[in-house]
Chain A
Amino acid sequence: MSQESGGKAKAKINLNRVSMPKQAADTRRQTFGEVALGYSAEDAAREAARCIECKARNCVAGCPVAIDIPEFIAAVKSGDLAGASRVIKRTNALPGICGRVCPQESQCEAVCTLAKKKAPVAIGRLERYVADWELGHHPAPEAPASPPTGRKVAVVGSGPAGLTCAAELARLGHAVTIFESLHVAGGVLMYGIPEFRLPKSIVQAEINYVKSLGVIIELDAVIGKTLTIDELLADGFDAVFVGTGAGLPLFLNIENENACGVYSANEFLSRVNLMKAYRFPEVDTPLKVGKEVAVIGGGNVAMDAARCAVRLGASVTVVYRRGREEMPARIEEIENAEEEGIAFLFLTNPIKFDINDQKWVSGMVCQKMALGEPDASGRRRPVPVEGSEFTLAIDMAIVALGTRPNPLIARSTPDLAFASRGTVVADEATGLTRKKAVWAGGDIVTGSATVISAMGAGKTAARDIDRYLASL
């Protein structure tokens, strides 16, 4: 202890974080119930006590929405959970979501003073604890009501970026309407991230909190089809925030990719998460799950798809063209996947699908890869190994290669500027696009990124929209 803490009299700082209980791998493979079970009151008190409330406050700067972390943890320490929630909700309307899905290891926790010594304070787990305490029937803190400004803002898309932007603008007294194309709000929080990582009841409870701030959500409204951005501006909205994400799936473009049994991760996850196809025929949306499933890709979406397929009874292999170290998925999720019995084939790239006489996928021909020189992303570029082809026998494949922005906004708003990959050009510091009175943020600007970076972008844009509205 004395050596780890630098030999000084800091023995009272516990350098080991309190672990969070989770369901055992063999039981959780059978259920869509949440894997991580959350802190008990005692766990939370012990973990909160580790925060030294240092002057550096690096954690706040490490949080894309700048939650006053030491202040909320101090409230947890003193047992004032309502106070802790009030502090969090000053800057973040969705803590139950962020506490679960943020990659804290590369954000707030990465820069925690304790991280230099050993384990950083488990900020995400504490945030989650406070949010769950509140959602367990303690009333949400009332937001300080700003006087109505008489200004109207349309928010396109109800994912993390749109929800955050809307909540922030509503707090500032603007009348906000969110337009959502699907039949439920939440975007990727509902259709993408599975129940076992992010319970949908929590997403809906936090969306209800956003509504309680005065935000109106209109479902089944496809902007670009039902209405256009220009029509929103003509219909009396003073500003528009576009947070439509990156929902267009990429495919491998290899032979027989349109065979039956080959799914995009978006389709597979939408059927499972949004349409609850795992409860078929109690619900009407069907899903076919093979016995031998290949998931192609190495990101969080690939892990989510693989872990859903396991829960539907499949034997799953993740096929990734780089190595384990290069995987973009969170380490925690890779470990969860491994614990659940998912196999990994690294440095492996599919080159075609085989099909049977029913036109169903029956195999995936792959090629081994070797790592070459670093590419533009800084990761070493995989290069094919000659003569290394082999066939994986499968009866289902899920392609999780990433996504691009949906073309509907581009096609219906020709005067919005787009970059080469279909992303909207927006100022990084403000979210303002090249089109008057239109802001954008989240995956539609960055390409597929994280929930919290989308929320940060929503918040940034809201501040700039507020300045703009004040100038009208």
Chain B
Amino acid sequence: MFPIVATEELVPRVRLYRIHAPRVARKAAAGQFVILRVDAHGERIPLTIADWDAAEGTVSVVFMEVGTTTTRLARLKPGDVIADLCGPLGNPTEVENFGTVCLMAGGFATATIMPIARAMKAAGNRVIIVVGARNKDLLFWRDRLAENSDELIITTDDGSAGRKGVVTEPVKEKLERGERIDRVIAIGPSIMMKFSSLTTKPFGVKTIVSMNPIMVDGTGMCGCCRVSVAGQTRFACVDGPEFDAHAIDWDNFMARQRTYIDEEKRSLEICRCPTA
């Protein structure tokens, strides 16, 4: 059993939970994830480790309330327990002094890029962060983002904060201007990662994405999370989750992500029922 130490609503429907899991906290590194199961009837879902504190024995995860499991999770309060949490899983982000690193984040991935930004800064990189949201009310941690970057660009779809548009635009402009970017890391919804990849590809800038396929065990046992990378089948849970964006078969990946859309809707209807 894994007690929830603290919860924080970052923006409506997006929450950060600090969970007591000392063994995971001791090992965690930027880019890794955990698999958790809320209760005895629960499914296993992967969530990226957004932060950790080895001394305190906690790991933090961020999730958006979108389906059954995240809705169940959102009902829990500090002091409640999560049945299972295992990790840290997957390979850590490759961190070295690349020169200039551009981190692109969409949606609540704003939280999950923070440890990567910190690690990249510590490795001596110049860090550009580009964060996108639908509108200003969905932005959070602007101060922390500023603190962990040399340049921070915010975009909103409606222009209510930062510049109007999507995250790919400022990056494209930079590359067109000939600004030097040695590595791009894009994390967020698949569509955002796909377009980030398409943006950088003509410029030949090495681009890493953190894949978010459906997972079951998260330890390499089943291949549910398999991704076609450069024509090879790779398991995101043990070979990734980060891969070279330019080598990914995005259409196959996004189709696989939609596998259970009908079941997810059906499950959520039951979950929302007041007697649940």
Q: Which of B37-45, B94-102, B121-129 contacts A (4 or more CB under 8 A)?
A: B37-45
What are 25 A-B pairs at a CB distance below 8 A? A183-B37, A183-B83, A222-B87, A222-B89, A222-B219, A225-B87, A226-B88, A247-B221, A248-B220, A251-B233, A259-B252, A259-B255, A260-B256, A263-B224, A264-B222, A270-B217, A275-B43, A281-B266, A281-B270, A283-B42, A284-B42, A284-B68, A286-B43, A288-B259, A359-B255
Majority SS of interface residues in chain B? mixed
Could you give, for residues 116-146 of chain B, a 1 whenever the CB lies within 8 Å of some chain A CB and a 0 otherwise?
0000000000000000000000000000000
Enumerate chain B residues within 8 angstroms of A275, measured Cβ to Cβ.
43-44, 216
In the A-B complex, list the 8 residue pairs whose CB atoms are closest, starting with the nearest: A286-B263, A267-B222, A359-B255, A220-B86, A284-B43, A183-B84, A285-B43, A247-B221
Could you give, for residues 116-155 of chain A, a 1 whenever the CB lies within 8 Å of some chain B CB and a 0 otherwise?
0000000000000000000000000000000000000000
CA distance A221 to B87 in the complex (A): 7
Q: Is B174 an interface residue (CB 8 A)?
A: no
Chain B nearest CB from A275 CB (Å) reads 6
Q: Are B44 and A183 in contact (CB under 8 A)?
A: yes
Q: Is A106 an interface residue (CB 8 A)?
A: no
In the complex, given contacts A225-B88, A359-B256, A360-B255, what are 12 additional A-B residue pairs having Cβ atoms less than 8 angstroms apart? A182-B217, A183-B44, A221-B23, A222-B86, A258-B228, A264-B223, A267-B216, A281-B263, A284-B41, A359-B255, A406-B220, A407-B220
Interface residues of A (CB under 8 A from B): 181-183, 191, 219-222, 225-227, 247-249, 251, 253, 257-260, 263-264, 266-267, 270-271, 275, 280-288, 358-360, 406-408
Q: Are B86 and A408 in contact (CB under 8 A)?
A: no
Nearest B-chain residue to A276, judged by Cβ: B41
Q: Is B267 an interface residue (CB 8 A)?
A: yes
Nearest B-chain residue to A246, judged by Cβ: B221
Q: Is B64 an interface residue (CB 8 A)?
A: no
Q: Is B247 an interface residue (CB 8 A)?
A: no
Chain A nearest CB from B253 CB (Å) reads 9
Q: Are A258 and B216 in contact (CB under 8 A)?
A: no
What is the count of residue pairs linking A and B with beta-carbon distances less than 8 angstroms?
121
Q: Are B89 and A248 in contact (CB under 8 A)?
A: no
CA distance A284 to B260 in the complex (A): 12
Interface residues of B (CB under 8 A from A): 23-24, 27, 37, 41-44, 68-69, 72, 83-89, 216-217, 219-224, 226-228, 233, 238, 249, 251-252, 255-256, 258-260, 263-264, 266-267, 270
CA distance A281 to B68 in the complex (A): 10
Q: Are A219 and B84 in contact (CB under 8 A)?
A: yes
Enumerate chain B residues within 8 angstroms of A248, measured Cβ to Cβ.
220-221
Q: Are B23 and A258 in contact (CB under 8 A)?
A: no
Q: Are A408 and B43 in contact (CB under 8 A)?
A: no
Q: Are B233 and A226 in contact (CB under 8 A)?
A: no
Q: Are B267 and A281 in contact (CB under 8 A)?
A: yes
Chain A nearest CB from B243 CB (Å) reads 14
Q: Are B267 and A266 in contact (CB under 8 A)?
A: no
Chain B nearest CB from A403 CB (Å) reads 9
CA distance A6 to B178 in the complex (A): 95
Enumerate chain B residues within 8 angstroms of A259, measured Cβ to Cβ.
252, 255
